[in-house]
Amino acid sequence: MATAADPDASGDGADEPDPDSPEGRGGAAFVLPAGPPDTGRTPLDRRRILGAAIRFIDTHGLSALTMRRLGASLGVEAMALYRYVPGRDQLLDGVVETVIDELYGDPDVHLEAAHGWQDYLQRLAHGVRRIALAHPEVFPLVATRPPAAPWVRPPLRSLRWVESFLTAMTSCGFSEDSAVAAYRAYSSFLLGHLLLEVSQKGVPINAQDAGESPAPTADLSEYPTVVRLQELLSMDESAEEFEEALENLLGRLEHVRREGRSPAEPESFT
Amino acid sequence: MATAADPDASGDGADEPDPDSPEGRGGAAFVLPAGPPDTGRTPLDRRRILGAAIRFIDTHGLSALTMRRLGASLGVEAMALYRYVPGRDQLLDGVVETVIDELYGDPDVHLEAAHGWQDYLQRLAHGVRRIALAHPEVFPLVATRPPAAPWVRPPLRSLRWVESFLTAMTSCGFSEDSAVAAYRAYSSFLLGHLLLEVSQKGVPINAQDAGESPAPTADLSEYPTVVRLQELLSMDESAEEFEEALENLLGRLEHVRREGRSPAEPESFT
DNA sequence: ACCTGAACACCGTTCAAGT
DNA sequence: ACCTGAACACCGTTCAAGT
């Protein structure tokens, strides 16, 4: 059904594959898989564009995202996008914002601190992790696009989240300073762990997949400890690591809340 | 002479500023400040290219780096670079590698674990922080370029560093598992903290510098806690945060080393 | 041996023009 | 009101040609 509606699916506007292109990883021209049913008449719209951009990045990778190709994925020329988005950079900012706000609709996350701040931070952390893993190609963008203000720290990059975090914490007995310190520690924790976890997913567990893996094995003899521990190093324990580090952070924060100091001093029970 | 050859430039190789270009932040054409004295005859060379690339990024920002402009900064056409570097992506990989290896020449860092692992990790962390702050525009690249293998974790992205880290730790009483766990925790810590610190530097403390800051102040009333804590949030305490978090991590690791477990359980003194 | 000119297939973006 | 065609000033990259 609907085969006639979309003019460039099989025929005229196609991409001209050009398999020698150094960019396209697989060389496969970006012909999208039939798209959502309504690819035709709804007159385009910022939300739809951002959604398409996210899907495009998830599918083809960030480096493949081009105004022209994004347009094509919506059945439109690139120039049409400029009516809704000021330019490519702002498009990317919009993508980041949209992905983060996805989290705001997550029912597991949005009950604020009804069951205490530890429960809230747990749910929030897992929510962020879920979207990071759902959009591994987008997350580096979340991590590195310059924030709007210096106190909006990735990955919780929106005033909504800063507000939510700080009110939750202060309403749970954190002083203002401690709440801010907690916000900082929490951001660093999430950013470091999730960026690493996501970037590990990008690497096909065996370094390069081309040919017979020549160079790496050669030099490797200079690094005996790495070779010896290779198996251990290759294990993916990101999930456990995340839980443990989160647990530990919460412990630190509880300590801060009670003592009123900033999060340091591993043992000061005296 | 030569005025007839190139139809679109006024002089010979000049850039044609075009102040309306959305890319160039300052709009200033990339005329480099006289360059190092020997800009002439040494016949070009991979090292020199990578050095120039790093300086270029430090000065003009990553998004301004272009094969053509990098060539120009070396007094050469872009095409000459391809004799020494396979392409732009590999150039960036080389930049990352070079910046990280800079650290390897740092005398403060390179004495391995002669004074114990805590001292070693302290010096290493401060060394990485120093290069992150020295090359704030390069660090996001260090953080996000896909690593060569899944067990080479940013920001310590080279076998040399993995080897150095693991031998130091195992020679100081860490079991193999604990050493690997420590490597992971340490990487996350560095990545999160330094990426945040570096990205904060990029933001001019007052959000946008254009006009009279219109939009932000308008919405801001919806976020009372943010507004109330704005001063606290705006303070730059990255240095103290870094020290404290590092101290805490070392405490955790010492605990791991003694107990042989992975880094969790905030309080198990019983 | 080392670099350049010219060319190719793309980019982002603008703007007058079509419907 | 919404999209397109054509154009402009760039890109990365290749390759035959210059010195």
pLDDT in the model for residue B249: 97
Round to whole Å and give the CA distance between A132 and A115. Answer: 25
Dihedral angle, C-alpha A82, A85, A90, A91, nearest 10 °: -90
Work out the percent of chain A whose per-residue pLDDT is above 70. Answer: 75
Q: Do the chains contact at A229 and B179, CB–CB below 8 Å?
A: yes
Question: Could you count the other beta carbons within 10 Å of the beta carbon of residue A178?
Answer: 21
- Do A140 and B141 form a contact (C-beta atoms < 8 A)? no
> Which residue in the set A140, A180, A251 is minimally distant from B232, CB to CB?
A180
Which residue do the tokens 């997550």 mark? A106
- Asked if residue B268 lies in contact with residue A248, where contact means CB atoms within 8 angstroms, the answer is no
Q: What is the C-alpha to C-alpha distance for residues B223 and A161, in angstroms, rounded to an integer?
A: 10
Chain B nearest CA to A9, separation (Å): 31
Nearest CA to the C1' of C10 belongs to which residue? A21
Task: Give me the helix-helix angle, B117-134 and B238-259, nearest 10°.
Answer: 150
- Å: A206 CA to C9 C1': 33
DSSP code at position A79? G
User: Please, which pLDDT band fits residue B166 given cuts at 50, 70 and 90?
Assistant: very high
Which distant-in-sequence residues (6+ apart) come within 8 Å of A175 by Cβ?
A260
| B244 in contact with nucleic chain D (CB within 7 A) | no
CATH number 1.10.10.60 given to A30-86: yes
Give chain A's mean pLDDT: 82
**A41 min Cα distance to partner chain B (Å):** 32
Determine the Cα–Cα distance for residues A33 and B19; give it in Å rounded to an integer.
41
Residues of B in contact with A193 (CB under 8 A): 188, 192
| Nearest DNA or RNA nucleotide to A64 (CA to C1') | C11
* Upper half-sphere CA count for residue B220 (Cβ side, 13 Å): 15
- Is residue A156 within 8 A of residue A100, CB to CB? The reply is yes
Residue B68, CB, less than 7 Å from strand D? yes
Q: At A109, is the secondary structure helix, strand, or coil?
A: coil
A180/B241 touch (CB, cutoff 8 Å), yes or no: no
What residues of chain A lie within 8 A of the CB of B245, using their CB?
185, 188, 263-264
Give how far the C-alpha of residue B128 lies from the chain's centroid of Cα atoms, to the nearest Å.
9
Averaged pLDDT for residues B154-158: 96
Tell me the two tokens of residue B133: 């702050």
Residue A268 in this model has a pLDDT that exceeds 90: no
Domain at A109-259: CATH code:
1.10.357
Cα separation, A163 vs B221, in Å, equals: 11
Cis peptide before B43 (omega within 30 of 0): no
| H-only helix segments in chain A | 46-60, 67-73, 88-104, 117-134, 139-144, 159-170, 176-202, 215-219, 224-228, 230-234, 238-259
- Among the residue ranges A57-66, A170-179, A218-227, B249-258, the one predicted with the least confidence is A218-227
C1’ C7 / CA A155, Å: 44
Strand D bases contacted by the protein (CB, 7 Å): 1-6, 9-15
Which pLDDT does position B201 carry in this prediction?
87
DSSP-derived letter for residue A75 is: T
Which residues of B fall within a CB distance of 8 Å from A196?
153-154, 187-188, 191
The distance (Å) linking the CA of A248 with the C1' of D19 is 67
**Average pLDDT rounded to a whole number, residues B127-150:** 96
Say how far B24 CA is from C15 C1', in Å: 22
For residue A189, the chain B residues in CB contact (below 8 A) are: 188, 192
Using a pLDDT cut of 90, give the percent of chain A over it: 67
Q: What is the pLDDT of residues A195-242, one digit of tens each?
A: 999 999 877 654 444 434 444 555 788 999 999 999 999 999 999 999
Identity of the residue in B143, B184, B203 whose CB atom sits nearest the CB atom of A195: B143
A159-197 pLDDT, tens digit per residue, is 999 999 999 999 999 999 999 999 999 999 999 999 999
Our measurement of CA A69 to C1' D18, in angstroms, reads 39
3 state SS of B225:
helix
Cα separation of B124 and B120, whole Å? 6
The reply to whether residue B223 touches residue A159, judged by beta carbons under 8 angstroms, is yes
B88/B81 Cα distance (integer angstroms): 10
DSSP-derived 3-state class of residue B164: helix
CB contact under 8 A, B147 and A187: no
Q: Tell which wins on pLDDT, A5 or B88.
A: B88
Q: What is the pLDDT of residues B4-43, one digit of tens each?
A: 333 333 333 333 333 333 333 333 445 444 444 444 468 8
Judge: B232–A177 Cβ closer than 8 Å, yes or no.
yes
CB contact under 8 A, B266 and A244: no
**Protein residue at shortest CA distance from C1' of D2:** A43
In the block, residue with structure tokens 């094509």: A72
* CA separation for the pair B188, B261 (Å, rounded): 18
CA distance A170 to A165: 9
Task: Of B133, B121, B72, B127, give the one whose Cα is nearest residue B252.
Answer: B121
Pure H helices in B13-150: 46-60, 67-73, 78-81, 88-104, 117-134, 139-144
- d(CA B41, nearest CA chain A) in Å: 32
> At which residue do the structure tokens 């990339």 appear?
B30
SS3 percent helix, strand, coil of chain B, rounded to 5, is 55, 0, 45
Nearest to B268 by CA among A162, A266, A260, A128: A266
**Cα torsion for A122, A125, A129, A132, to the nearest 10°?**
160
Residue B87 contacts strand D, CB under 7 A: yes
Single-letter code of the amino acid located at A167: T
Give contacts of B253 with chain A, Cβ < 8 Å: none
Q: How many CB atoms lie within 10 A of CB B266?
A: 16
Task: Return the pLDDT at B10.
Answer: 33
The residue count for chain B: 270
Task: Determine if residue B205 is left, alpha or beta; phi over 0 gives left, psi from -120 to 50 gives alpha, anything else beta.
Answer: left
Q: B153: which chain A residues are within 8 Å (Cβ-Cβ)?
A: 196, 200
Q: Is a pLDDT exceeding 60 seen at residue A93? A: yes
Q: Which residue is nearest to nucleotide C15 (CA to C1')?
A: A79
Q: Where are the domains of chain A?
A: 30-86, 109-259
Query: Could you give the CA distance from residue B233 to residue B108 in angstroms, rounded to a whole number?
Result: 33
pLDDT for residue A1: 35
Percentage with pLDDT > 90 across chain B: 67
What mean pLDDT do residues A126-130 have?
97
Q: Which residue of A has its CA nearest to B180?
A: A233
Structure confidence at residue A143 as a pLDDT band (50, 70, 90)? very high
Instruction: Quote the CA–CA distance of A257 and B78 in Å, as a whole number.
Output: 57
Task: Report the range of poorest mean pLDDT among A205-214, B49-58, B187-196, B219-228.
Answer: A205-214
Helix pair angle (A238-259, A176-202), 10° resolution: 170
The reported pLDDT for the residue numbered B264 is 52
Higher pLDDT, B8 or A98: A98
CB A199 within 8 A of CB B154: yes
Looking at beta carbons, which residues of chain A come within 8 Å of B189? 188, 192
Protein-contacted positions of strand C (CB under 7 Å) = 1-6, 9-15
Residue A109 vs residue A171, higher pLDDT: A171
Distances, alpha carbon A11 to alpha carbons A15, A16, A34, in Å: 10, 11, 14
